[in-house]
């Protein structure tokens, strides 16, 4: 039985964000983690060599530079250096070509040639209102937008690029592939309104606050969050699997950084049947199958400029990605899946040693797919980087099915905790005005299965914590998240 004010199950980015808010509100907070280390999707570990670390899940963090929670938390002031590559992401195409999304919008437009003006018209207005666009997409999606102009700009672009009309806006393959590769981060059918929203969010941030990597790995973000929690009296229990909510019955509020499947397992039959049935019907998206490589030298891309990007999308043309992603969403395995590659040492050379360099890659596959992804991923890289296989010193493969065994929140390998459809983008996990409150008194869901959904932004945890403060403790003042002693602020971050 817990003796704390608040018990949090799961220490992924949202569980940690909730812990920061609640501990800074002066509550006694205990966090329970089944794994031996905290972090969830923010873990970094030495897999092959003690001097070379790999990011186990997430690696690139545009939301850590842009989200309202992290803007207020201020990672930089806490010693977390977000390193910005010159090229946010690259998209190789056959024939040695590559589309490049430079941090500079002007340089990107110049690189895209005839499609440069169209790219500028698409991304420029979003950049001008970037903070409002980010805050709208990363809100709880239950209130009117603060900036109606930003909302209209976004809605227009989502409507066009969420349909078959979007590709017609570009003349060449490069620009349409560049945008579709970002849309594929939604991990689902293409095109769709949800994938278009993701493309607009991440696409414009590539030219704004960027797609940075934390120096030393993603675990640095988790460490900064945990240090703030412990500085305000929070306590961590690692290697502790909570099997039933009854174990936490002494806490006035329980926040679950779990999937809906995890909530069902913890709550048992205590949930009202109608709510439980909705959780059971919650749809999970395609899986991620990951390969961590230790290589002897930088990836030998056909276009050397690709090596200046830390993030590389391997999916071919717009038409190829539409076919691949739609098939995968329908649980059809493809021979050439969409693959995302990250080369951390391209911007953080301290991550590499002579002859030893980490490379991170995952493929989109059907949910629950047990296939070892190594051959598929290596072949996708070698298509645009001949000779890559000869540089591989060692590797570790994790199938989509095995990803769930590693972290039960990744149901069937779904690292986003739920399919990103238009309906589930809003009604996560069920349609409720306050999606964080469950029907059980004092029990809240704070994972990415709640709005605003997946990515390392902390907003699901932040918003769930505000709900818990109001409903379980009668606290309406919002704690200041800036470094230093906790103080009370008058409004929300951002």
pLDDT given for residue 3 in this prediction: 74
**Residue 127 CB coordination number (10 Å):** 16
User: For the residues 182-204, what does the mean pLDDT come to?
Assistant: 96
Q: Each residue of 231-288: pLDDT tens digit?
A: 999 999 999 999 999 999 999 999 999 999 999 999 988 999 999 999 999 999 999 9
Tokens of 227: 């240090």
Convert the pLDDT of each residue in 398-425 to its tens digit. 999 999 988 999 999 999 999 988 888 8
- Give the distance from CA 127 to its chain's centroid: 21
CA distances from 118 to 109, 111, 112, 125, 173 (A): 8, 12, 9, 12, 13
- What's the predicted TM-score (pTM) here? 0.95
pLDDT of residue 175: 97
Q: Does the structure show a pLDDT above 70 at 429?
A: yes
Q: Which residues contact 345 (CB under 8 A, 6 or more apart)?
A: 298, 351, 352, 357, 358
* Beta bridge pairs of residue 289: 363
Q: Say whether pLDDT at 223 is over 90.
A: yes
Q: Using the structure block, give the residue that is written with the tokens 């805050």.
A: 135
CA distance 435 to 296: 48
| Confidence at 435, pLDDT banded by 50, 70, 90 | very high
What's phi and psi for 256, nearest 5 deg?
-110, 110
pLDDT of 488 strictly over 60: no
* Angstrom distances, CA of residue 405 to CA of 369, 401, 409: 13, 7, 9
Query: What local confidence, expressed as pLDDT, does residue 489 receive?
Result: 46
pLDDT grade for 490, boundaries at 50, 70 and 90: very low
Residues 6+ apart with CB under 8 A from 406: 398
Name beta bridge partners: 90: 100, 312
CB contact set of 106 (below 8 Å; sequence gap of 6+): none
Give me the pLDDT at residue 491, please.
43
Does the structure show a pLDDT above 70 at 492? Answer: no
Residue 486 has pLDDT above 70, yes or no: no
Handedness of CA 326, 331, 336, 340 (dihedral sign): positive
CA-based angle 74:77:80, to the nearest 5?
85
- 8 Å CB contact between 22 and 4: no
- Residue of 399, 394, 354 whose CA lies nearest to 376: 399
What's the mean pLDDT when you consider all of the chain? 95
How would residue 87 be classed by pLDDT, with cut points 50, 70 and 90? Answer: very high
The proportion of the chain whose per-residue pLDDT surpasses 90, expressed as a percent, equals 91
Give the other-Cβ count within 10 Å of 237's Cβ: 15
Q: What percent of the chain has pLDDT over 70?
A: 98
Q: Are strands 97-102 and 443-445 parallel, antiparallel or unpaired?
A: unpaired
Provide the 8-state DSSP code for 37: S
Alpha helices in 283-385 (DSSP H): 318-329, 374-384
pLDDT at 1 over 80: no
Task: Tell me the pLDDT band of 210, cut-offs 50, 70 and 90.
Answer: very high
Instruction: Measure CA 202 to chain center.
Output: 11
Is the distance from CB of 406 to CB of 37 less than 8 angstroms? no
Furthest-apart CA atoms within the chain: distance in Å: 65
- Other C-beta atoms within 10 Å of 77: how many? 11
Spatial contact of 11 and 257, defined as CB atoms under 8 Å apart: yes
Structure tokens given for 235: 């306590």
Kindly give, in sequence order, each residue whose CB lies less than 8 Å from that of residue 236, ignoring residues fewer than 6 positions away. Answer: 11, 30, 31, 33, 38, 226, 229, 230
Which residues, listed in sequence order, are joined to residue 407 by a DSSP beta bridge? none
Residue located via tokens 């902390």: 458
Q: Which residues contact 447 (CB under 8 A, 6 or more apart)?
A: 10, 12, 14, 15, 256, 257, 258, 259, 409, 417, 460
Q: Is the pLDDT of residue 479 over 80?
A: yes
DSSP H or E segment with residue 293:
strand 287-295
Give me the DSSP letters along 216-238: T-THHHHHHHHHHHHHTT-EEEE
User: Given a cut of 90, is residue 194 above it in pLDDT?
Assistant: yes
Binning the chain into helix, strand and coil, the percentages to the nearest 5 are 45, 20, 40
- For residue 143, the model assigns a pLDDT of 77
Strands 52-55 and 44-49: antiparallel
- Between CA 389 and CA 315 the distance in angstroms is 19
> What's the pLDDT tens digit per position in 316-354?
999 999 999 999 999 999 999 999 999 999 999 999 999
Backbone φ, ψ for residue 456 (5° rounding): -90, 80
End-to-end CA distance of the chain: 37
Rounded alpha-carbon distances, angstroms, from residue 344 to 76, 108, 186: 19, 22, 22
Model confidence at 140: pLDDT above 90: no
CB neighbours of residue 445 within 10 Å = 27
Can you tell me the distance from the alpha carbon of 247 to that of 345, in angstroms, rounded to the nearest whole number?
Answer: 44
* Residue 77 C-alpha from the chain's centroid: 22
DSSP 8-state assignment for residue 34: S
Give the length of the chain: 494
Which tokens is 402 given? 């095995």
* Alpha carbons 460 and 258: distance in angstroms, whole number: 11
């Amino acid at each position: 039985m817990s003796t704390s004010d608040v018990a949090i199950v799961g220490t992924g980015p949202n569980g940690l964000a909730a812990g920061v808010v609640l501990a800074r509100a002066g509550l006694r907070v205990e966090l329970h983690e089944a794994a031996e280390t905290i972090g969830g999707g923010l873990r970094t570990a030495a897999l092959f060599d003690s001097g070379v670390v790999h990011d186990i899940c997430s690696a690139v963090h545009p939301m850590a530079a842009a989200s309202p929670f992290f803007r207020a938390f201020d990672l930089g002031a806490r010693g977390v250096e977000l390193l910005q590559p010159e090229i946010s992401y690259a998209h190789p195409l056959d024939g040695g070509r590559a589309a490049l999304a430079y941090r500079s919008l002007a340089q990107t437009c110049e690189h895209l040639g005839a499609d440069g003006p169209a790219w500028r018209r698409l991304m420029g207005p979003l950049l001008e209102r970037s903070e409002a666009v980010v805050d709208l997409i990363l809100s709880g999606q239950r209130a009117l937008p603060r900036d109606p102009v930003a909302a209209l700009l976004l809605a227009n672009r989502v409507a066009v690029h969420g349909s078959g009309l979007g590709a017609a806006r570009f003349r060449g393959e490069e620009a349409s592939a560049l945008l579709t590769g970002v849309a594929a981060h939604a991990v689902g059918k293409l095109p769709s309104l949800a994938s278009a929203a993701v493309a607009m969010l991440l696409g414009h941030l590539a030219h704004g606050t960027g797609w940075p990597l934390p120096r030393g790995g993603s675990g640095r973000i988790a460490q900064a969050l945990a240090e703030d929690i412990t500085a305000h009296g929070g306590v961590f229990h690692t290697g502790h699997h909570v099997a039933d909510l009854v174990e936490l019955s002494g806490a006035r509020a329980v926040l679950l950084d779990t999937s809906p499947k995890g909530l069902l397992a913890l709550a048992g039959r205590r949930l009202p049947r109608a709510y439980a049935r909705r959780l059971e019907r919650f749809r999970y998206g395609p899986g991620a199958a990951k390969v961590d490589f230790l290589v002897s030298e930088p990836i030998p891309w056909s276009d050397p400029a690709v090596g200046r990007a830390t993030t590389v999308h391997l999916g071919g043309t717009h038409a190829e990605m539409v076919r691949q992603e739609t098939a995968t969403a329908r649980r059809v395995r493809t021979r050439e899946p969409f693959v995302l590659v990250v080369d951390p040492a391209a911007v953080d050379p301290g991550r590499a040693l002579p002859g030893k360099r980490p490379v991170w890659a995952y493929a989109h596959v059907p949910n629950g797919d047990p296939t070892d992804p190594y051959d598929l991923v290596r072949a996708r890289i070698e298509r645009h980087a001949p000779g890559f296989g000869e540089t591989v010193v060692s590797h570790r493969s994790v199938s989509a099915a095995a990803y769930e065994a590693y972290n039960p929140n990744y149901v069937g390998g779904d690292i986003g905790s739920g399919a990103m459809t238009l309906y589930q983008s809003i009604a996560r996990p069920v349609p409720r005005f306050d999606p964080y409150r469950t029907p059980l008194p004092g029990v809240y869901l704070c994972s990415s299965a709640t709005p605003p959904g997946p990515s390392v932004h902390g907003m699901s945890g932040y918003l769930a914590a505000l709900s818990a403060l109001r409903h379980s403790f009668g606290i309406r003042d919002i704690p200041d998240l800036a470094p230093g002693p906790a103080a009370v602020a008058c409004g929300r971050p951002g």
